[in-house]
A and B are shown apart, each in its own frame.
Chain A
Amino acid sequence: MKKPGVKDLYIGAVIINPPTSLTNKTGSWRVIRPVIDQDRCIRCRICWAYCPDAAILELDQPYEAGGKKYSITYVVNYDYCKGCGICAAECPVKAIKMIPEVEKL
């Protein structure tokens, strides 16, 4: 399909039909992926708050770990996570590990 040209695009690169960024799956940029150890996670919400791409999802999903019951679970949205590692660096209990996407880089 021919991409829109000079005559088709709205002037000034203004996006008039948001949110087009959803179609841009930036997860493909990732070379290392964050993996959350749910048993270690204390549900402090710090990773969720720090993620620059809002790629940490807070799910209403109960979870039991180490005799504690949580009503929520954090998971990574790998469609948009770029693998920057901020969540792993900020996690106060080291519950997030960054794992290479490819065995040998």
Chain B
Amino acid sequence: MSMNKVLEKKLLEPLSGNHAVAYAVRDCDVDVISAYPITPQTTIVEKLAEFVASGELDAEFLHVESEHSALSAAIGAAASGARAFTATSSQGLALMYEVLFIASGMRIPMVMALVTRALSAPINIWNDHSDLMASQDTGWIQLVSTNNQEAYDFIIIGYKLSEREDVMLPVMVALDGYIQSHTIEPVQLEDPEIVRKFVPKKKRPVTLDPEKPVSFGTLGDPDWYYEFKIQQVEALERAYQAYKEVSSEFSQYFGRSYEPFQILYGEDSDAILVVLGAHTGTFLKAVEMARREGMKIGLGVIRMLRPFPPEVSKYLSQYSFIGVADKAINFGSASGSYLTNDIATSLYLEGASSRITTYIYGIGGRPVKIEDALYVVRHLWRISKRLEEVPKKPVFVGVRY
């Protein structure tokens, strides 16, 4: 979108990522918010509590005693037909763990904001992707924003996607702790009336209703459980195409759209570095600096982590060398990185023979400076020029030995 058009709208607001999320929740006219405070998520629900108190948002705000209850209450609200929201981080998400599977298994449409943060121990309130990555197998759709505008947009897209009859799955929208959650950026807010037109509230065919009783959360014995799981598999597969349709409609409404997987500077590159989350901007800057030095490296940005976009392997299989920058450690796994495990598997299934180098960075909030990102890009370039061997283990960027 041209700058002129943006200015015409006159709705650019300086907002932290957390406040951008709260505004999106308000604009989607959410009915029930249940949450428990945890750093760095807290200011999302603080802002929402203000909206509810001032009457700006007509919603029930449930103060619960734990994150386990926060998600359980949101599931109950959503099962009754309400539009529900919760938000959490790190230990809070870990405490929700069993309930995450219940939300997806019960096919509950709802949105949760995950403000990413490292997991204990040792206690660490700073940002990395340990919580996001450890929850990728819970049956949720996961959208990962790279800036505060995307955090705002993904909440709106999330409700539309989640409530589609061919999807009916919970959506997690990730934004990076502090780097987004507490950093102010210009965000284009949309007219709430138009947002509500984009995500209209529709009566769902089956909800908890005393007039027409149904049972949610039933027993699925060995004779039945399997079939419901395959329904989930198919719904998550459909969510990919559904996301593309929702994103395209979002673009018609608001002029912005996000591919599940985007390649920048791909055409003439010798290797692609795959990233996700808020450090995308840092790595993009490094790629552009390196390109000025003649190192032809491209950037691949994953915005949809679950379902894993099929085009990742389609695009990446064209390159002999791939770098994967992961802000989480997958302890003891084949590659040591969640992202590499997914990318390597998808490439292998595609029949590709691309070589992957894993870069672990930013663990526990370790600052990622432009030099660190440049180190990664230059290292990957040397590999692509066969000046360096492809390491079998992850490169732990910036660690002290």
Contact = CB atoms under 8 A, between A and B. Distances in A.
A13 B105 contact: yes
Interface of A: 3-6, 9-16, 18
A9 B218 CA distance: 13
Interface of B: 105-108, 168, 206, 213-218, 220, 223-225, 227-228, 230-231, 234-235
A3 B220 CA distance: 14
Contact of B227 (A5, A14, A15, A18): A5
B54 to A, nearest CB: 36
23 contacts: A3-B223, A6-B227, A6-B231, A6-B234, A9-B224, A9-B231, A11-B168, A11-B228, A11-B231, A12-B108, A12-B168, A13-B105, A13-B106, A13-B217, A13-B218, A13-B224, A13-B225, A13-B228, A14-B106, A14-B214, A15-B218, A16-B214, A18-B214
B105 A12 contact: yes
Main secondary structure of the interface of B (DSSP, over half): loop
Contacts of B106: 12-14
A11 B216 contact: no
A5 B228 CA distance: 9
A3 B218 CA distance: 18
A29 B343 CA distance: 49
Nearest to B105: A12
Nearest to B215: A15
A92 to B, nearest CB: 34
B215 to A, nearest CB: 4
Most buried by B among A13, A15, A16, A18: A13
Nearest to A5: B227
Contacts of B108: 12
Contacts of B224: 9, 13
Given A3-B223, A9-B224, A14 B231 contact: no
Contacts of A16: 206, 214
The 3 closest A-B pairs by CB, nearest first: A12-B107, A15-B215, A12-B106
